[in-house]
């Protein structure tokens, strides 16, 4: 039994020895050094964008080369440097030569690397809020929209509109948008809010050529230019405005222009064609057919004869204001003869209260027809009748804001 064990032990020792020897022999064969013969770069030049980290694509031949070390160098480490894995790091704009070399040999390969901004990989739109609000019918305006291109490096530049494509309706419409596209990049959209426009102001752009008139003249719009200003800022010339008066009269100092609820005033002056300071001047102006006669303020109209209106037509006789009293104790009133048409007495007091007062301040007994208007007049008389009217004659007498006082 003991002998058998010894033989086994001897066999085991021999077998172990043989295996160790075989391992040494095999190790010697597999660890045989195979040196690199060349390096090939996939690119002779390359482009990086600022701050990009990029792997260098290369191959070492023969492919079974072993036991070698590669060194990576840059001609300008301020432009291209390397990380721990020998990836290129683009640190600044410019060019650098990258070289891969087998350590302790002359085997190397180089390429030129340029660092820039790369390509534009998306666009960004900038615009004020006002650029997205329009009024119905308003034309779309792109002038306030700025399109920025963003490079891979992070750099941003303002693109010219001519480089982009804009898709939008020419006139603002409800539920519309502006679409902006740059090359084949995804489009950007701007939603548009469309509101109903409204008038906010009536403007006089140009005053009329004429602002000074005589009583009874028609307002002349020549030279007058009027416009509407809208909330949107749009200006629209206006021709269908209204005037508060057409024929200009005593006391008018303005003409009001209106459009819907909007008004503007134009200052005017309205005067008489003749100013008189005495009864004789008044009678002369009436005889000459002067259309508008103003009684001078403070003038004395003493006369022993009535002021005669014979076949008078289109005559206005007035004082500057209705408080003017024409020699309040002795004035001889008006006498109308024949047919009259559109005769007006405005703004003064007729008084007949002297020692020999006239029975009637306006004697129409010899009038054969026509019309007379009394406006803002005050009659003061000690007699019973202010007006003497004829019988069976068609005379139109119009009173407007007149007063009558009988003095005892």
Question: Of the residues 215, 246, 271, which one is the last residue of a structural domain?
Answer: 271
Q: Report the chain's mean pLDDT, rounded to a whole number.
A: 86
Is 3 inside any structural domain?
A: no
* Number of separate domains in the chain: 4
Give the CATH number of the domain where residue 65 resides. 2.60.40.10
Domain that holds residue 334: 274-406
Question: Of the residues 252, 271, 290, which one is the last residue of a structural domain?
Answer: 271
Share of the chain above pLDDT 90, in %: 61
Considering the domain architecture, whether residues 83 and 140 belong to the same structural domain is answered as no
Q: Which of 263, 192, 176, 181 is nearest to 228 (CA)?
A: 263
User: Sorting pLDDT into bands at 50, 70 and 90, what band is 387?
Assistant: confident
Considering the domain architecture, whether residues 279 and 393 belong to the same structural domain is answered as yes
Write down the pLDDT at residue 314: 93
In whole angstroms, what is the distance from residue 264 CA to residue 201 CA?
Answer: 10
In whole angstroms, what is the distance from residue 109 CA to residue 99 CA?
Answer: 6
Torsions phi, psi for 28 (to 5 deg):
-60, -35
Give the residue-averaged pLDDT of 249-273: 95
Is 96 inside any structural domain?
A: yes
Considering the domain architecture, whether residues 146 and 165 belong to the same structural domain is answered as yes
Condensed to tens digits (0 to 9), the pLDDT of residues 39-90 reads 999 999 999 999 999 999 999 999 999 989 999 999 999 999 999 999 999 9
Is 75 inside any structural domain?
A: yes
Considering the domain architecture, whether residues 53 and 151 belong to the same structural domain is answered as no
Condensed to tens digits (0 to 9), the pLDDT of residues 102-146 reads 999 999 999 999 999 999 999 999 999 989 988 887 889 999 999
Considering the domain architecture, whether residues 246 and 330 belong to the same structural domain is answered as no
Write down the pLDDT at residue 407: 60
Give the CATH number of the domain where residue 155 resides. 2.60.40
Considering the domain architecture, whether residues 283 and 392 belong to the same structural domain is answered as yes
Q: Which of 101, 100, 125 is nearest to 113 (CA)?
A: 100
Considering the domain architecture, whether residues 344 and 401 belong to the same structural domain is answered as yes
pLDDT at 327 over 50: no
Considering the domain architecture, whether residues 130 and 107 belong to the same structural domain is answered as no
Write down the pLDDT at residue 142: 95
Fill in the DSSP letter of residue 162.
G
Question: What secondary structure does DSSP assign to 62-125, as a single string?
Answer: STT--S--EEEEES-TTTEEE-TT--EEE-SSEEEEEEEEETTSS-EEEEEEEEE---EEEEEE
CB 58 within 8 A of CB 41: yes
Q: Which of 34, 193, 38, 27 is nearest to 101 (CA)?
A: 38
In whole angstroms, what is the distance from residue 260 CA to residue 228 CA?
Answer: 11
Q: Which of 260, 242, 261, 243 is nearest to 252 (CA)?
A: 243
Question: Of the residues 175, 195, 215, which one is the last residue of a structural domain?
Answer: 195
In whole angstroms, what is the distance from residue 10 CA to residue 125 CA?
Answer: 89
Torsions phi, psi for 119 (to 5 deg):
-115, 160
Q: Which of 361, 344, 299 is nearest to 326 (CA)?
A: 299
Considering the domain architecture, whether residues 261 and 156 belong to the same structural domain is answered as no
């Amino acid at each position: 039994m003991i002998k058998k064990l010894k033989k086994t032990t001897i066999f085991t020792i021999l077998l172990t020895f043989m295996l160790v020897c075989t391992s040494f022999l095999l190790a010697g064969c597999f660890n045989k050094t195979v040196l690199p013969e060349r390096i090939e770069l996939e690119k002779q030049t390359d482009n990086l964008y600022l701050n990009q980290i990029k792997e260098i694509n290369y191959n070492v031949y023969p492919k079974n080369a072993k036991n070698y070390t590669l060194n990576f160098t840059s001609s300008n480490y301020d432009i291209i440097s390397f990380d721990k894995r020998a990836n290129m790091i683009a640190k600044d704009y410019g060019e650098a030569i990258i070289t891969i070399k087998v350590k302790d040999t002359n085997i190397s390969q180089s390429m030129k690397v340029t660092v820039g901004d790369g390509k534009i990989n998306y666009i960004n739109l900038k615009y004020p809020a006002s650029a997205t609000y329009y009024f119905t019918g308003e034309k779309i305006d792109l002038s306030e929209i700025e399109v920025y291109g963003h490079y891979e490096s992070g750099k941003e530049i303002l693109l010219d509109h001519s480089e982009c494509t804009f898709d939008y309706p020419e006139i603002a419409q409800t539920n519309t948008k502006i679409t902006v596209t740059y090359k084949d990049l995804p489009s950007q959209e701007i939603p548009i809010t469309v509101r109903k426009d409204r008038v906010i102001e009536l403007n006089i752009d140009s005053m009329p050529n004429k602002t000074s008139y005589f009583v009874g003249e028609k307002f002349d719009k020549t030279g007058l230019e009027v416009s509407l200003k809208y909330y949107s800022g749009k200006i629209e010339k206006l021709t269908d405005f209204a005037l508060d008066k057409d024929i200009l009269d005593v006391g008018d100092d303005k003409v009001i222009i209106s459009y819907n609820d909007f008004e503007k005033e134009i200052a005017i002056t309205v005067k008489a064609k003749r100013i008189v300071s005495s009864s004789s001047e008044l009678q002369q102006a009436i005889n000459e057919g002067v259309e508008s006669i103003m009684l001078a303020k403070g003038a004395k109209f003493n006369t022993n004869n009535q002021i005669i209106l014979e076949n008078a037509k289109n005559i206005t006789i007035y004082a500057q204001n209705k408080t003017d009293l024409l020699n309040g104790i002795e004035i001889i009133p008006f006498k109308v003869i024949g047919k009259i048409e559109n005769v007006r007495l405005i703004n003064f007091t007729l008084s007949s209260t002297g020692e020999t007062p006239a029975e009637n301040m306006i004697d129409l007994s010899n009038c054969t027809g026509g019309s007379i208007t009394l406006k803002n007049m005050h009659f003061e008389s000690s007699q019973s009748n202010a007006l003497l009217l004829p019988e069976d004659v068609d005379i139109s007498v119009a009173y407007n804001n007149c007063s009558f006082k009988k003095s005892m």
